[in-house]
Amino acid sequence: MKKIILVSILFLGIISCEDSIDRTIFVPDKNDSNLPAYTEWGYNSFGAKYERNYFLSTNNLVPCKITYKDGRINFYLIGYVVGSRGYGYYSGDMMSLLISFPFSAINDYAGLLALNAQTIDISDAGCSVSMSINDAAATNLEILSGQLCFKRAQLLRIDDKPDRVILSGTFTISFLNQGRPESISDGRFDLGINNKDFYSF
Q: What is the pLDDT of residue 90?
A: 46
Q: For the residues 135-155, what does the mean pLDDT come to?
A: 97
pLDDT tops 90 at residue 197: yes
Residue 99 identity: I
Q: Could you write out the DSSP letters of every residue in 130-179?
A: EEEETTPPPEEPEEEEEEEEEEEEEEEEETTEEEEEEEEEEEEEEEEETT
Domain boundaries, the chain: 2-15+31-200
**Contact in structure between 57 and 81 (CB atoms under 8 Å):** no
Round to whole Å and give the CA distance between 69 and 9: 34
Give CA separation, 50 vs 10, 29, 171, in Å: 32, 16, 12
DSSP conformation class of 112? G
Q: What is the pLDDT of residue 85?
A: 54
Per-residue pLDDT of 30-70, as tens digits, reads 999 999 999 999 999 999 999 999 999 999 999 999 999 99
Instruction: Tell me the whole-structure pTM to 2 decimals.
Output: 0.87
